[in-house]
Amino acid sequence: MCVSGRGAALAKVAMVVVVAGGCCRVRRPPLPQTFPVTGIVSFAGKPLPSATVMFNPVAGDGHGSIALTDATGRYRLTTFTPGDGVVPGDYRVAITKIELGGTASDSPAAVAPDPKNVLPAKYADDSTSGLTATVEAKPDNTFDFALTK
């Protein structure tokens, strides 16, 4: 079968797209190695469930990590994939526990209550929380945080 004119031009463009797509894939650099980080968060001496724990790198060019505490206040940090851990380094820590304020009405026209952080505001900001951690390249990094009122 002979292709000429406009059909030939389209065939050439299609061939270029197919070839370029196969040979020009962007290669992503490998992810940095992470190490497990776990711990327990308590508030006023009791385990703190459903709190968000955030590790923010002191050096602004690093990778942050996050976790949600379970019913017993335990957490396991995630950076790239669930529960993978944290890249070694120094971190400032922020912790929040968000709950809906007030009570919702059964009326369809009712507005949902505004969410609010039930912990002291200083813990929500890693620059005021006073919480820090140094993650090491080892399999057992544990940081417990006892928050007060």
Q: What is the mean pLDDT of each run of 10 residues along the chain (149 residues)?
A: 53 49 72 97 97 94 94 98 96 96 65 87 97 97 97
Domain ranges of the chain: 37-147
- Euclidean distance between CA atoms 55 and 65, whole angstroms: 5
Q: Which fold has domain 37-147?
A: Immunoglobulin-like (2.60.40)
Predicted confidence at residue 62, as pLDDT, reads 87
Instruction: Report the C-alpha gap between 117 and 139 in whole angstroms.
Output: 32
Joined together, the tokens standing for residue 60 give: 């602004």
- Per the CB < 8 A criterion, the answer to whether 92 and 132 are in contact is yes
pLDDT at residue 52 in the model: 98
User: What pLDDT is stored for residue 29 in this prediction?
Assistant: 86
pLDDT, residue 17, reads: 46
**pTM for this predicted structure:** 0.76
